[in-house]
Amino acid sequence: MRATQRNTRQREVVLEELRRLGTHPTAAELYEIARARLPKISLGTVYRNLELLAENGIIQKLKISGAEARFDGDPQRHYHVCCVRCGRVDDVHDLPRNFVRRRAKQLSGYDILGFRLEFNGICPECKKRSAPGSDEGASQEKDRAV
Amino acid sequence: MRATQRNTRQREVVLEELRRLGTHPTAAELYEIARARLPKISLGTVYRNLELLAENGIIQKLKISGAEARFDGDPQRHYHVCCVRCGRVDDVHDLPRNFVRRRAKQLSGYDILGFRLEFNGICPECKKRSAPGSDEGASQEKDRAV
DNA sequence: GTGTATGCAAAGCCTTTGCAGCATG
DNA sequence: CATGCTGCAAAGGCTTTGCATACAC
């Protein structure tokens, strides 16, 4: 999070529309939608704001297989299904502890072909590199049930 | 899988090197390595072959957060850790059924900040679109323990 | 011999950035 | 008013593609 951050109309609109959609739009899609309210907004601004919001943990940036990044207005959800044909992305809610293909299919309506689980964090090398008195404690380690 | 596919030296080398590495190189990295054995190979060819191998399920294409795609010579593994600082990707082996942050950290040496679980498959719309007598049964539904 | 794959280079696409002017706190 | 943000457009970086040639079967 930066020192001082201003609340601009553009940032507000981008976030509002992303949340209102409830889907996983690309930056370009969001740009088109935002343009209805702010005709002069630029793609660059949309990208900059999405990036910033994601850095602050307010939204989520997804890099699913496929060309474009997608954004999720809900930073809490972590389960997604993506279509290998059209690239569409949906959520899978209420995934039980012992998640299974069958359950994912029931909840999403997809034919589940596979899955991918990714952890993210700081690798040993990077830890060493900035070990003593680390000042860049970006994401504090919340104790959620990973 | 295409009608007829030929076994070229280039494809062979790309696959061999990817498997030999055991890491998750980018196309460019693999290109440099392959060049040691086939000085005239082109980046385009490396991309084409990686794409083809991934389509055939022989390797895995990963689109982790970050710019470049990464490739995994083992199509079976599904657990990865990626460093939010340098983009490095590692495997997490032997992930227990009730995976937990602690276990993932033990196995990888990373400081785990979060995770992402993605299913992939065919969305309801795409199913409808190619429903009767589908001829494109790309990935057969293996009954692995998703 | 036929059709796939390659090499090379150009084109594509998504995303990032430089810069001058604008607007927020 | 100081400086973060915007719009615009150009630049970047990874990936894909067109085309003539080479090679696998």
Which residues fall within 8 angstroms of residue A100, CB to CB, at 6 or more apart?
Answer: B145, B146
- Nearest nucleotide, C1' to the C-alpha of A7? C24
Helix (H, G, I), strand (E, B) or coil at B112: strand
Nearest CA in chain B to A65: B63
Residue B66 scores a pLDDT above 70? no
With b for 16 or more beta-carbon neighbours within 10 A and e for fewer, the A79-103 pattern comes to bbbbbbbebbbbbbeebeeebebeb
State how far the Cα of B99 lies from the Cα of B94, in Å rounded to an integer: 10
In terms of DSSP bridges, do strands B79-83 and B89-91 run parallel, antiparallel, or are they unpaired?
antiparallel
Residue A137 scores a pLDDT above 50? no
- Take residue B102 and report the two structure tokens written for it: 């602690």
With b for 16 or more beta-carbon neighbours within 10 A and e for fewer, the B32-70 pattern comes to ebbeeeeeebeeebbbebbebbbeeebbbbbbbebeebb
pLDDT at A27: 95
Residue A68 scores a pLDDT above 70? yes
State how far the Cα of B47 lies from the Cα of A97, in Å rounded to an integer: 38
H helices of chain A, where?
9-21, 27-37, 43-55, 101-108, 124-129
Domain ranges of chain B: 9-121
Query: What kind of architecture, by CATH, is found in domain A9-121?
Result: Orthogonal Bundle (1.10)
Percentage of chain A exceeding pLDDT 90: 32
pLDDT range class, residue A28, cuts 50, 70, 90: very high
Among A55-59, A113-117, B29-33, B115-119, the range with the most confident prediction by mean pLDDT is B29-33
State how far the Cα of B86 lies from the Cα of B66, in Å rounded to an integer: 9
The residue that minimises its CA distance to C1' of C15 is A47
Q: Which of A63, A79, A88 lies at the smallest CB-CB distance from B65?
A: A63
pLDDT at A49: 96
Nearest CA in chain B to A137: B113
A47 to chain B, closest Cα gap in Å: 15
Residue A142 scores a pLDDT above 60? no
pLDDT at A145: 36
Task: Identify which has the larger pLDDT, A41 or A76.
Answer: A41
Q: Would you say the C-beta of A11 is within 7 Å of strand D?
A: yes
* A61 close to A50: Cβ distance less than 8 angstroms: yes
pLDDT at B139: 38
DSSP per-residue codes, B26-84: BHHHHHHHHHHH-TT--HHHHHHHHHHHHHTTSSEEE--SSSS-EEES-SS--EEEEET
Residue type, B132: P
Average pLDDT over residues B22-45: 95
Radius of gyration over alpha carbons of chain A, in Å? 18
The residue that minimises its CA distance to C1' of C24 is A6
pLDDT range class, residue A134, cuts 50, 70, 90: very low
Indicate the range of A2-11, B19-28, B88-97 predicted with least confidence: B88-97
pLDDT range class, residue B60, cuts 50, 70, 90: confident
pLDDT at A11: 96
Residue A1 scores a pLDDT above 60? no
Helix (H) or strand (E) holding A91: strand A89-91
Average pLDDT over residues A24-31: 94
pLDDT at B134: 39
pLDDT at A146: 39
pLDDT at B13: 97
Average pLDDT over residues B47-61: 91
Average pLDDT over residues A119-143: 56
B43: Cα within 13 Å, side-chain hemisphere:
5
* B64 close to B87: Cβ distance less than 8 angstroms: yes
